[in-house]
Amino acid sequence: MENSKIRKREPLTDTQLLMTITIGIFITMYAVAMIALQGGFLHAQQIFDMLNDNAPLIIVSCALTIVMIGGGIDISVGAVTSLTVMACVLYLNNGGNILVSVLLAIGIGLAFGLVQGFLISYLEIQPFIVTLAGLFFARGMTTILSVNPQKAEHAAFNKLREVQFVIPWLGYTARNGNVVPARIELGVLVAILCVVLVFIMLRYMKLGRNFYALGGNQQSALMLGINVKRTRFMSYILSGLLSGISGYVFMLHTGAGNATNAAGMEMNAIASSIIGGTLLTGGVGNVIGTFFGTLTLTTIKKIVVSSGLNDPWWQSITTGGMLCFFIILQSVVLSRRAKKKSA
């Protein structure tokens, strides 16, 4: 009998390595919180609450991951989300239809993606400048629509908002003896669906591979026959589309529009993507890592609050420290791998 050949296990790619590190840090951090702080961290609902509260951020982080993998940046996503919320709330309050409001949200996102993508890809204007202009324009339009907060008063929409998926066996017993079942909002399912679809696109579709090639080396992408301008254009269209969807999910969670909605969301989305292993230089990133990056960012904020540091600046300080840590970690890990490859 011939000796069977043992295949060597292929080493992890940079994307897989950074994603694995992020997942490991999240699990470790949450386990430490369960042991040291206990409280809500011992209940499954804590995870579900993190997902319920951050479903819009997860979707926007997916948008940033796509753009950053392609070597770009989009800081308008939070403002587009806010504009979408306000526009859809006002439309519904004036006798609108739920299906049309969904199309309105998608249309607003696509409009920003088309305009910004064209200016960046075909007129070759710097992405930061274009999306900064988009941020100011979206914020201005939100204020024009309404300076005051607007609550959704559409009966059918409010019924849709109340839809929750109950998991009794993951619940817990409160101090008064009542059993509190675990609950997941509809927006979480939308966010998870977006994560899965973006993962499939990046992993298995030609467009996704083109994003990695574009972010890795634009000249090499051109030599491979990739249409660089169209690929970059598509990344901003997808970013705009996901921003519009995020706005509707945000509205499902809060049920109200406000000029300050989603303020700072773009910075949290960039932080989530970086923590998840996406490089600002492009070519490396994974939307699964981004998903756990969002949970990691949320967990550290929960830990800060549970530790008694309720002042808002402590969350900002810890977020900044966490971001610096992951940037340094990425630099160290990738430089060591580069030295091993060269050796």
Domain layout of the chain by residue ranges: 43-299+311-326
pLDDT at res. 315: 78
Structure tokens at 102: 């969904």
How many Å is the Cα radius of gyration of the chain? 21
Largest Cα span, the chain: 80
Residue 256's DSSP bridge partners are 151
Distances (CA, A) of 214 to 113, 200, 224, 229: 18, 18, 10, 10
pLDDT at res. 308: 75
Domain 43-299+311-326 is in which class? Answer: mainly alpha
Structure tokens at 51: 């997902």
pLDDT tens digits for range 167-218 = 877 776 666 666 667 889 999 999 999 999 999 999 999 999 999 999 988 8
pLDDT at res. 6: 47
Cβ contacts of 258 within 8 Å, gap of 6 or more? 82, 85, 86, 149, 150
pLDDT at res. 213: 93
pLDDT at res. 173: 66
- Measured between its terminal Cα atoms, the distance across the chain in Å is 38
What letter does residue 42 receive in the DSSP assignment? G
Q: Of 104, 66, 53, give the one whose Cα is nearest residue 83.
A: 104
Report residues of the chain scoring pLDDT below 50.
Answer: 1-6
pLDDT at res. 97: 92
Give the separation between CA 60 and CA 272, rounded to whole angstroms: 10
Contact assessment for residue 183 and residue 168, using Cβ atoms and an 8 Å cutoff: no
Give the separation between CA 194 and CA 190, rounded to whole angstroms: 6
